[in-house]
Chain A
Amino acid sequence: MLRYILLRTLTMIPTLFLISVLVFVIIELPPGDYFESYVAELRALGETADLAEIEMLRERYGFDQPQVIRYLTWAGGMLTGDFGYSFEYRLPVNEVVGDRLWLTIVLSFLTIIFTWVLAFPIGIYSATHQYSWGDYGLTFVGLIGLAIPNFMLALVMMYFANQWFGVSIGNLMDRQYLNQPMSWDKFSSILSHIWIPVIIIGTAGTAGMVRRLRANLLDELQKQYVVTARAKGLAPGKVLRKYPLRMALNFFISDIGSILPAMISGAEVTAIVLSLETTGPMLIKALQSQDMYLAGSFLMFLAFLTVIGVLLSDIALAILDPRIRLGRGNVT
């Protein structure tokens, strides 16, 4: 078991290395850099830029050096917890980011739990009642959830929450808690706000998961051992609980790998629409103003979150399934 976890963790390293190269290339691709657009903006406003200061900053962040060196400085810094400097905010990235990373993690985690809690019973019901009205109805509702763009759902929910409950659901906490240290009041304020984005982001993931869980369970239900168990007179509920469900559970955990990237994508868009205090709104601003270290750190963080999520689901799967743990056979 330990050996498996170790090996699995080690394979993360080349993946993360390639991701960091890719992210660096992407943030380096736009012509010019932050300082050029900054100077141009100042000129447009009729102000004069302090060229000496800018030259100093440029030199300090190695803009006069070749790209390979800059990549190494950036990646090396990240390893020691230094994510670079945000030019826009004139602060180290660590300080600009603040709570946002944690809130993104909390939001993603809650969304996964929400998806699981909803998808599991619905998937089982749909599979065991195949082609019933309930199955059709639930499948259809799920598909609608899949088809509505996240941002539209967010806007419409914002509107109805305003109409019916009189609450404003933008943001992730009440105004006065912004930039405050964590406290009980802040925590409960976050809790009272977070459920709406969780529902919005969760719908699409839930629909996809129900579909795959249903197909998976249906395959399992047609197998001989289920027929045997039934023929021997086992109660239907017990047959389901003892055999096919356990097989489906494996799939259920490994499916995290496929819904997590989609979920984080959805979370970014939703966060921008609802102006949540997560990574989304800041990422898009950083991308637009070529604040490269900030944007790069966010992209890197989101990819890291996915990689870790998949790693955790793989480890959970290994605990559940001895075939994986002992390294025999391929289980999909």
Chain B
Amino acid sequence: MSAESGLPEPGAPLGHYVSDAPFDAYEADKAGSAQNRFAEASQLQLMWWQFRKHRIALLSGIFLLVMYGTALISEFLAPYDQHTRNTDFIYSPPQAVRLFHEGSFVGPFVYGRAQTLDMDTLRRVYVDDTTQVQPLRFFCRGDAYDFWGMVPGNLHLMCPAEGGQAFLLGTDRLGRDVLSRVLYGARISLTIGILGVTMSFVLGIVIGGLAGYHGGWFDAVTQRVIEVLQSIPSIPLWMALAAIIPVTWSPILVYVGITVILGMLDWTGLARAVRSKLLALREEDYVLAARLMGAGSGRIIGRHMIPGFMSHLIATATLTIPGMILGETALSFLGIGLRAPITSWGILLTEARSVSIIALYPWLMFPVVPVILVILTFNFLGDGLRDAADPYK
């Protein structure tokens, strides 16, 4: 038999080299080998790898996490309370933090300030008194506060020296520390975007989902409404709705109202995205299979279809947050958004309302820096998420 087929006898030495290391036919499929790590990775892992490649997006994500982290503990980070008025230091320019005094190292400190009144222009003039060294204190007791309005405390990351002042970003017209107010403002300005987006997210998924899955008259009406909402310029519409908010509402209610207004008008883009995705996915075989097995439309949309494009939705939503933050800033700046005593970056910028103030007290424009940074990083993050949302590309 062997002679007929030309095969050697079993066990006989072969004419060519054969490795005698044990052979495993499934070695290439085993977990842990380099090329399989990629094939076996979960969707989430693939997205993470893709996202990690986008350096700027990764850095932006970290920066935003830090920003939101500071918003959690504004009371601790701010050297002063947001409403503390230092009546002796009105419109005081920023004080520089120094390390060396007359050539010797003393650690971070600021020089004391002396105020004089320029009798010609009636402007307050501040001069650094270089004999007064006021070292900054850290983890110290300062202005009392209620942490998140509930837990009383007075521990601060940094405070001025006993009896001294430290306005690292200057003070405003009531002598309030700008740095502290920016830190407190982050809480309002950053959450308003998140809350607004959450709301438009829910609205977008529900309305877009129903329109895309059921089609018919509901779809037709929704399409029309979206078209209408998108063709009205958003700021005038926000202005009109914000003007409706009664003056008698408490600041917290106004905050909720503004969030609702921002969210109510911004769901259209998301609803469109959901609808077009659903229209495409509706024809897929797995949806048909689910329907044949008797799943209801709620289950099919929620369990089978939405997870398929959730990542796209999150990326789209991230890109709409900057618009909301800018919207709040603009409304507050125009005086129809949030109201004092709530502190947001928009409210802070109302202090820098006129050219003469910008010329005289330019540090009041500082709150625009966090606004720009947050909007830039949200844009980068959204770009990175969008690229990562489809890791198979």
Complex: how many Å from CA A8 to CA B128?
69
Question: Residues of A contacting B240 with CB < 8 Å?
Answer: 26-27, 287, 295, 299
Instruction: Indicate if B317 sits at the interface (CB-CB under 8 A).
Output: no
Chain A interface size range: 35 or more
Encode B211-250 as 1/0 by CB contact (under 8 A) with A.
Answer: 0000000000000110110111111110111011010000
Q: Does A151 contact B (CB under 8 A)?
A: yes
* Given contacts A14-B224, A29-B244, A284-B334, A19 and B355 within 8 Å (CB-CB): no
Kindly state whether residue B352 has any CB partner on chain A within 8 Å.
yes
Determine whether the beta carbon of A265 is less than 8 Å from that of B368. no
A107 to chain B minimum Cβ distance, whole angstroms, is 13
Give the interface centre of B334, B355, B359, B379 by most chain A CB atoms within 10 Å.
B355
> Could you tell me the distance in whole angstroms from the C-beta of B333 to the nearest C-beta in chain A?
5
State whether A269 touches B368 (Cβ < 8 A): no
| A144 contact from B233, B333, B353, B372, Cβ within 8 A | B372
Stretch at the interface among B111-119, B301-309, B322-330: B322-330
**Consensus secondary structure, chain B interface:** helix
Using a CB-CB cutoff of 8 Å, which residues 354-378 of chain B contact chain A?
354-355, 358-359, 365, 368, 371-373, 375-376
Q: Is the CB of B349 within 8 A of A152?
A: yes
Residues from chain A with a CB closer than 8 A to the CB of B368 are 148-149, 152
| CB of B321 within 8 Å of the partner chain | no
Establish whether residues B330 and A149, one from each chain, have CB atoms under 8 Å apart when the complex forms. Answer: yes
Contacting B231 at CB < 8 Å: which of A15, A266, A269, A272? A15
- B336 beta carbon closer than 8 Å to chain A: yes
Is B371 a contact of A299 with CB atoms below 8 Å? no
User: Does chain B have a CB within 8 A of A22?
Assistant: yes
Contacts A15-B227, A15-B228: A147 and B233 contacting too (C-beta < 8 A)?
no
Our pick among B225, B241, B336, B358 for the contact of A288 (Cβ within 8 Å) is: B336
Chain B contacts for A149, CB-based, 8 A: 326, 329-330, 333, 349, 368, 371
Query: B334 contacts A302, CB within 8 Å?
Result: no
Residues of A within 8 A of B232 (CB): 19, 22, 261, 299, 302-303, 306
Residues of B within 8 A of A (CB): 224-225, 227-228, 230-237, 239-241, 243-244, 246, 322, 326, 329-330, 333-334, 336, 349, 352-355, 358-359, 365, 368, 371-373, 375-376, 379
A residues with CB within 8 A of B: 14-15, 18-19, 22, 26-27, 29-31, 143-144, 146-152, 155-156, 158-159, 162, 261-262, 264-266, 268-269, 272, 283-284, 287-288, 295, 298-299, 302-303, 306-307, 310
- A–B pairs, 8, beta carbons within 8 Å: A22-B232, A147-B322, A148-B372, A149-B371, A152-B365, A159-B355, A261-B230, A287-B240
